[in-house]
A and B are shown apart, each in its own frame.
Chain A
Amino acid sequence: MTVGGVIAYRALFNWTRPSIFIGTLLVGPLFQLLFFAYLGRQLQVADDRFYIVGNAVLSATLACVFGGTLAVGNERRYGTLGHVLLSPRSRTALFLGRALPYAGNGLLIAAFTLSASALMLGLRIPLSALPGLMLAMATGSLACSFFGLTLGALGLRLRDVWVISNVAVALLMLLTGVNVPKAGLPGWMVAIGNYLPITHAAEAARRFAAGSDFATAAPELAREALIGLGYAVLAAALLKIFELESRRTASLETL
């Protein structure tokens, strides 16, 4: 089961060699962070801590949003979706379970990005902040995976779900307040951002990195967890509705 799970995970994620994983999921997000950190330095919008911590949490989106989309989209693309839906097991549990390895992957990427960028840019993070930071990154990754799964569910109806996931990843950079302080964004963008994953996890992570205790960051963590739960319910509902609709109209494999 473990070996099969690992192989399926690697295959569904389209990476069969370590070079793909390193290039796409480690190097890419690290340079994304460096790009915004240097831009922030030049414009003097915020300090390095703001960009490093925020973008480290955001770095999980690549694995989680695309992972969630791939979890559904690639089953359809490779013609295996019918087999999955014929399974006697609960498809809701099956698909929601798919989000877990992506969340774990997102946490790994976020931890790597934070460590590497802190070393490169010379940011000192107190050791006491690490458990809180890990918790914030884990919560953000999980919420983001369910968000990705929600987008993936749309893949049961749409011909090209990659357009949505590509645009969604770009929008997360703008709306979550990771790169532009909320004070610099219009109110409606902040309002939308409040209902997106990463926004509250990044805020919680920044509080931990600044030396705040758990109680100070807990409300933000709770909001992030609630948003993750909301997307999990939404993903499950959409998957159920689209599955029933696809069966009714015999359009499961129609692209």
Chain B
Amino acid sequence: MLLLGTLLHVKQISRSPLEVAIAMVVPIVQATLAVYLFRSGGEQHRLIEAAVGAGLMGVWSSVLFGSGGAIQNQRWQGTLEMIMLAPRRPMLVILPITVATGLTGAYSLLATLTWGRLLYGIRLDFAHPAAFVVAAVVCVLALGMFGLLLASTFVLMRNANALTNALEYPIWLVSGMLVPITVLPAWTGPIAAVLPTTWGARALREATTGGPVWPSIGICLAISLGCLILGGFAMTYVERRARAAATLALA
């Protein structure tokens, strides 16, 4: 059911020009910006990091806006009630949507790497190519699970856009997707440490430039599983609360 649901939503999202544009064109523009910034700063040897970082930023945008839109879209289509009335747990219906947003977000990573290779001649010399593939897959799945936790909070919110629009740059920044977290204020450290995006970004960076990839992948996966469990509980809680208050369609 999870697999079929994920496949269905990947196909559905992939047919939306807006989703595809956001997943591919916007990250390419951001990657171009990053490349010129890195060049201006005399860091030509780090261009592959710019491409990978910009791609990961696109994955996060896709999950963030996709998870926010997942509930809102069901609400607008009038199908949210049916999902909540189904004999299956709501989590099993919503999780494929959030994982699908992560998978379609992976278009960003592919787009920025292809763009970097073709237009700027960036050599895709990954320090650990196999680990990079594993890290990318884990990262996409992890963000999908994180998306479930976000989506559960959106059941209660009439306008999830407020949260989604406000969360894009902070997570890019704090997770060290392009800006190393060492240059950020110290108080951001504990926040970064509990975000799966931080460890996912770190795993991809280590697979690209060298470093202990597997511990980062493991931590990323562990935090994401925590998000999945929390998201499951949160989804059940907010569903019951919305039913009791009769605000599911209005929340």
Contacts and interface: CB of A to CB of B under 8 A. Distances in A.
Interface string B142-157: 0000000000000000
A166 B33 contact: no
B165 A179 contact: no
B36 A185 contact: yes
Contacts of B184: 38
A27 B163 CA distance: 10
A38 B179 contact: yes
A39 B170 contact: no
B162 A19 contact: yes
Interface string A16-45: 110110111001100110110011111111
Nearest to B182: A42
A170 B30 contact: yes
Contacts of B170: 31
22 contacts: A14-B159, A15-B162, A17-B159, A17-B162, A22-B166, A23-B161, A23-B163, A28-B165, A31-B170, A38-B179, A42-B180, A43-B38, A43-B40, A160-B18, A162-B18, A163-B18, A163-B21, A167-B25, A171-B29, A174-B32, A179-B33, A184-B37
Interface of A: 14-17, 19-20, 22-24, 27-28, 31-32, 34-35, 38-45, 160, 162-163, 166-167, 170-171, 173-174, 179-181, 183-185
Given A41-B183, A42-B179, A174-B32, 14 more contacts: A17-B159, A23-B162, A23-B166, A31-B168, A31-B170, A35-B178, A38-B183, A40-B37, A42-B41, A42-B180, A167-B26, A170-B30, A173-B29, A180-B36
